[in-house]
Structure 1
Amino acid sequence: MLILLPPSEGKTAARRGKPLDLSALGSPVLTSARERVLDALVTLCEGEPDVAAATLGVPRTQLDLVALNATVRDAPTARADQVYSGVVYEALDFATLSSAAKRRATSRVAVTSSLFGLVRPGDRIPAYRLSGDATLPGLGGVAAHWRDALGPALTEALGKGLLVDLRSQMYAAFWRPPADLAKRVATVRVLHEVDGSRKVVSHFNKATKGRIVRELLEDGRDPRTPAALADVVRDLGWTVEVGAPSPQGTQLDVVVSAL
């Protein structure tokens, strides 16, 4: 099983640690693609801060994020599971997982990254600011760049297991599983139900996904089909509805009634 997460906009910068070493990251097939994004981002952010901020969609009151990107090659690094600090990661809380669950996370969890394409929890990365919908001078759209590169890395990472795709729409655009993998792809949506009406609540959607990933890692089972995954999630106490299989995979709706 490979659980594919989105990154978080919020990141915790390391105070100390070795600088970035692309050759030490997982999925070395992505090294050249990573170099191109890194070069484009640093070049942009070493220039005029206001121009870089506008290009990256960074508020002018947060030009420190531009400076952060400009020094990303030499900045201290930490494990990715310590750097990403958004809602999903707060709920998942890697640091308090059991030893067995942490070992499972090493091989079962991957994060889609605008800067690095794909990172594992133990990969050492710096904090950075680069949205998945950004367009960089000399590179073009970040999503389009990774769309051409991620396929081999993700296919290798997945192996013969089940892909549990928890990415947001923005990061799903980086790579879409081909139809021949559809039987082994489960996408998860969280719906909040009140008085028979259902809707997606962004913050709660992210927090619930983080909790489910945590419980899957602690549980330890390795389902091989979307239906088997649904059974495991139900066993963990969640209400799950399974959609019809499609060329994109099978959607699982986790329905909750309390925020």
Structure 2
Amino acid sequence: MKILLAPSERKTLGGDNPPISKKSFIFPEIYEKRIEAVRKYDEFLKTTNDIKNFGDDKTSVFTRPTKKAVLRYSGVAFDHLKYNVLDEDSQKWIDENVYIFSNLFGVISAGDLIPHYTLKQGAKPGFDIYSYHHNVFAPILEKINETEPFIDLRAKFYEKIYKPKNAITFKFIKNGKVVSHFAKAYRGKLTAIIAKHKPSTLEEVLKIPFEDIKVLEIQEKKGVKEIICEVY
């Protein structure tokens, strides 16, 4: 079972690992295709003054130090995941089984090593990078999804890259209303709890004692099971 997460725009700086290489990422068989998109972004940085979408760091992405993706991203979901306080087994499970949909690098694992970068959601560095990522990563993920269900905790935007057919999603309800922005926090909490229990089926997911979350019902449509929860 894999968890799909969106990235965060907020990221930590620095890193204690060397710049990206083939060893930095999962799916080494498509490394050159992954890096082709990164090279285009790298060249685009030299020509743009759009600091809002691409930042003000003009150094090459290929020269920047790296750290684990799960530690690089520091938005709401990752704050509530609290990776650093999890036990070693849970951290290892997250490193290997959480896929993050990076705007720049495509589909990476939480344990992949990436540099700091700026690429706002939806921005295009001279080409449609989301269409590019879809063509590269969707076939790989579809193959995995044939035998493994995905727990999809991403924002809908990232379905541009890939939309699973065999998946579990969550909808959070509070005081009768769908939780929107703070849903990111529950996604982070869910990821941490799931990592501790390491389920492999929907039945095992439903047996997990989620803190402050009560399952109300499960709806299914086209292979996607949506777990509707009351949160407190």
TM-score by length of 2: 0.89
Structure having the higher helix fraction is: 1
Which residue is equivalent to 2:170? 188
Aligned with 1:163 (options 140, 150, 155):
150
Which residue is equivalent to 1:241? 216
**Which stretch of structure 1 is more off in the superposition, 128-137 or 95-104?**
128-137
Q: How much has 1:159 moved relative to structure 2?
A: 6.2
Which residue is equivalent to 2:134? 147
- Look up the SS of the partner of 1:215 in the other structure: helix
Q: How much has 1:134 moved relative to structure 2?
A: 1.8
Q: Is the 8 A contact 2:171 2:178 kept in 1?
A: no
Which residue is equivalent to 1:121? 110
State whether structure 2 residue 100 is matched by structure 1 residue 111.
Answer: yes
Which residue is equivalent to 1:215? 193
Which residue is equivalent to 1:6? 6
Q: Is the 8 A contact 2:95 2:112 kept in 1?
A: no
Q: How much has 1:128 moved relative to structure 2?
A: 0.8
Aligned with 2:56 (options 56, 66, 71):
66
Q: How much has 1:236 moved relative to structure 2?
A: 2.6
Gaps of 5+ in 2: none
Q: Structure 2: how far apart are the matches of 1:66 and 1:38?
A: 17
Q: Is the 8 A contact 1:72 1:126 kept in 2?
A: yes
Which residue is equivalent to 1:224? 201
TM-score by length of 1: 0.81
The Cα offsets for residues 146-183 of structure 1, whole Å up to 9 and x where unpaired, read as 11111233235546222100010111221012xxxx4x
List, as ranges, runs of 4+ consecutive aligned residues in structure 1 with deviation greater than 4 Å. Answer: 156-159
Rg larger in structure: 1
Q: Structure 2: how far apart are the matches of 1:255 and 1:153?
A: 34
Q: Structure 2: how far apart are the matches of 1:170 and 1:250?
A: 19
Which residue is equivalent to 1:100? 89
- Look up the SS of the partner of 1:43 in the other structure: helix
Aligned partner letter, 2:139: P
Count of residues in correspondence between the two structures: 231
Q: Is the 8 A contact 1:25 1:119 kept in 2?
A: yes
Q: Structure 1: how far apart are the matches of 2:223 and 2:62?
A: 37
Aligned residues with identical type, % of pairs: 21
